[in-house]
Structure 1
């Protein structure tokens, strides 16, 4: 997999290209699934996602439709291409960008997209400063995204300036190309739940162009702890019992406070990375360090009293 970043003065476009030699989800011998779970390989692909049961069901529906359409074609029956444009609603740190990036790979493996690359953009990448520039910038971005996924976070910002704002021109251009380029282009818009609901009312027919509108609820305490264990394990660390206890108590406190600034899995990632640095400082004072000590993050390493600096 290769990554290319193109920076702009007021924004950024992040392009991720997938390795064309990746295992293809649609290349399985489907006869081998007889009497077995036909979705086992999808479950494996999505196993790192905590929760998100609705998303997992939708991916299985898409995959099942592909396979059944193949069988219909073999028997001379007609079938139609699936429209895969999506809208994600959720607070920060609920996995919207991570899921969108993963979908680019999955859709490529399913042969739904020809390239499977992922382009992340924001308002400044689409909206120009004078008449005519916005449509040109938006079309250029869509062209870069052909064969992959164009992901626009905080999409409601395109409509924040009212009727005279050039953001409306970007929305209109996106809507047009959603229809014209639907077979090899997926648009995913994302943002806060309330703002995205309001955004959908600004363009007639916009909501109907997104067959998949998915809510990304905040993680509960048990899910956040599972994410913490997973993030630590990926880095070849593990949390001690007292570290888990300390983190659980802190998360319950944040949950009871209904803290609007709490950032879900993003916060957990910062806690793990901060704890790793604290562990390094602690171990540096020791003359002999065992492999177990190098892997263990203790309650003392979780400096949650410094939480404002981690957020």
Structure 2
């Protein structure tokens, strides 16, 4: 090996075009700084591994199976999509597609049903990423007639034997995922990258809400912004809060109240501003403020 050979790391980085994916992550996803940093670290390691191979260094295939943990609505699926792009651009994924499944897509309801279901999903995912949401539901130790363990065994075999052609991402609540991994050490040992998604702050959720409205050509008045921030803080204290998903649902209801408000003043001449503006009253009429 000629140690005098040099590589222009910037040039190699530009060749991959993964910066475009990082830009999308930064522009489309509010907050999540530790997640974005972790994804950059993974991408950096993969790029350097490629360069090491170019120099003739021996290098084992990096472990690419991942675990995404966090509350609902924290961007796990969105980041998985971008991870698929990164792996494809770096040459670690043959097709670069993402298949999202849950327990119902993998586990059958009777003997002999699970294996063909799981294998069919794996066949579709080959060359890309298989994203298993709420993965802990695959394991139900209290139910002797449950076939989730069979699906896990098939997944383990494929994760080991075909790891160069399939990446699996397990996702779900952090505490439940930890118990899931404890139940199967073989599964845990095959996952090299654990990424935890933090909950959003109220201010980050307000920003996310404004982006959602802009995409639908709506906007909040200044007063409505402050009222909606108050709504977010109250909603975060309630059960079943799901971060960005709950914000989207709240805005859908605010749009319905805005439409009803406009309908009730049907004799009024409408302006463009009327049609695109969410007022504070459209949020204040939420049951959250009246319970």
Matches within 5 A, 1:290-301: 290-301=271-282
Instruction: Look up the match of 1:278.
Output: 257
Distance change (3 Å), C-alpha of 1:102 and 1:174: same
Paired residues of 2:18 and 2:89 also in contact (CA < 8 A): no
Distance change (3 Å), C-alpha of 1:78 and 1:178: same
Distance change (3 Å), C-alpha of 1:75 and 1:204: closer
| 245, 270, 273: which one aligns with 1:266 | 245
Paired residues of 2:21 and 2:82 also in contact (CA < 8 A): no
- Deviation, 1:227, is 0.8
Instruction: Look up the match of 2:4.
Output: none
Structure 2 CA distance, aligned partners of 1:135 and 1:297? 51
- Deviation, 1:113, is 1.5
Structure 2, unmatched stretches of 5+, are 1-8
Matches within 5 A, 1:198-209: 198-209=179-190
**Rg comparison, structure with higher value:** 2
Q: Give the TM-score normalised by the residue count of structure 1.
A: 0.79
Q: Give the TM-score normalised by the residue count of structure 2.
A: 0.84
Structure 1, unmatched stretches of 5+, are 1-28
Paired residues of 1:42 and 1:60 also in contact (CA < 8 A): no
| 38, 44, 61: which one aligns with 1:81 | 61
Per-residue CA distance 1:165-191 (angstroms, 9 max, x = gap): 311111111111111111121111112
Q: Quick check: which one's helix share is greater?
A: 2
Cα RMSD (Å): 2.6
Per-residue CA distance 1:95-135 (angstroms, 9 max, x = gap): 22232233223333333212222212121221123334322
The number of aligned residues is 275
Paired residues of 2:85 and 2:96 also in contact (CA < 8 A): yes
Instruction: Look up the match of 1:17.
Output: none
Distance change (3 Å), C-alpha of 1:123 and 1:244: same
